Amino acid sequence: MSRILTVGAAQIASETSGLDVNFAKHHDYVARAASIGVDLLVFPELSLVGHYGAEALLDVVMTRDDPRLLELSRAAGDMKIIVGFVEEARGAQFYNAAAVFQNGRLRYIHRKINLPSYGRLIETKYYAHGRFVDTHTMTEDWVLGLLICADLYNPALAHLAFLHGATLLTAPISSGREAVGDEFDNPLSWATTIQFYAMMYGAPVIMTNRVGREGDLSFWGGSRILDPFGRVLAQGGGDEELITARLDYADIRKARALLPTVRDSNLALVQRETNRLIDRLGVPDVVREEE
C-alpha cells in the first residue's frame, strides 16, 4: 500500500450564486488535477455558490445527492474531491457544507459548526449550525479531518478531529482581507493558525482559499499545503491556480514520535472539566439531530 498521497488545492474565484458557471469551473479543475495524478483535491468554502451565494438562498441550495454533484464526482473518478455548497437537509434546514465525493458517490460531509457573526460576516442569518466533528477514513494511514473556515478558530473542534484519528487536516476557507476588521490581518492569522495545527498535531494541512472580489470583500488567495512539521510545501498567490504537493505518511510518524500531542491528550480530564463547567454555567444539553 502506498503511503504517499498527492494532494491539490483548487484556488478559484466563484461567481456569486452562479451555479452553472461554478460547476463548469469545477469540472475544469477536476480534469486538470486528475491529469497529473492528484489523489485528493480541495476546493474553497462554498466553492459552488460563492461567498455571498446564500443571499439567493432558495435558488442555490442543493441536497447532498444532487445530480450535478454526483456528475462532478463521476468526472473525478478515483480522485476524491472536497467541494463547498449550501446543503438543504431535512425540515428545510440549510447548512454551509463541505463534502467528500468519489466515483459518483458522497463519501463524507461536514456542516460548518462555528458560524461567524462579526465584522462583515453574517452567516447566522442563513445557516443552521452543524453539530458533529468526525473524520473520513481514506486508507489505513490517511484519515481525513475536515473543518470549514471559522471552525478552525475554535481550537476544541480541531482537537476533536485529531482525537478522532485524523492524520490530515483539510480546511476550505473563504477569507476576505476586510472580513474581520481593518486592524486584523487575515492572511497572517491564517498562516499562523494552520502552521500551529500542523506542528502541534504532527499532521499535514491543506488550506484552500478563494480569490477575486465579491461584494465588499476582496479575497487574497494564499492557499497552501503544509507538511506535519509546519513547513510550506506549496503556496498560492493572489490569482486562480492549482497547487499540489506529495505527502509522505513517514513524516507523520516522525513528527508524532517527536511531539506526541495526540497520545498525551487527557480525555478523562477534559470530559470531567467540561461536565463541571456545564454544571456550573448551566449550559443546555445539545439536542441530537437526525442523521
Predicted confidence at residue 290, as pLDDT, reads 45
Q: Closest Cα partner for 29 from 213, 243, 211, 237?
A: 243
Q: pLDDT band at 182, cuts 50/70/90?
A: confident
Q: Is the dihedral of CA 57, 58, 64, 68 positive or negative?
A: negative
What distance in Å separates the CA atoms of residue 130 and residue 17, rounded to the nearest whole number?
A: 22
What average pLDDT score do residues 60-89 get?
A: 98
DSSP state of 35: H
Q: What is the pLDDT at residue 235?
A: 98
Is residue 1 predicted with pLDDT exceeding 90? no
* Nearest in space to 114 (alpha carbons), one of 161, 149, 151, 160: 151
Task: Please answer whether residues 68 and 23 qualify as being in contact, where contact means their C-beta atoms are separated by less than 8 angstroms.
Answer: yes
Beta-carbon count within 10 A of 126 CB: 17
C-alpha cell of residue 101: 465525493
- HSE-CB at 195 with a 13 A cutoff on CA atoms is 11
3-state secondary structure of 187: helix
Domain extents in the chain: 4-264
pTM as predicted: 0.94
Average pLDDT over residues 55-62: 97
CATH number for the domain running over 4-264 = 3.60.110.10
Ordered DSSP codes for 107-167:
EEEEE------STT--GGGT-PPP----EEESSSS-EEEE--GGGGGSHHHHHHHHHTT-S
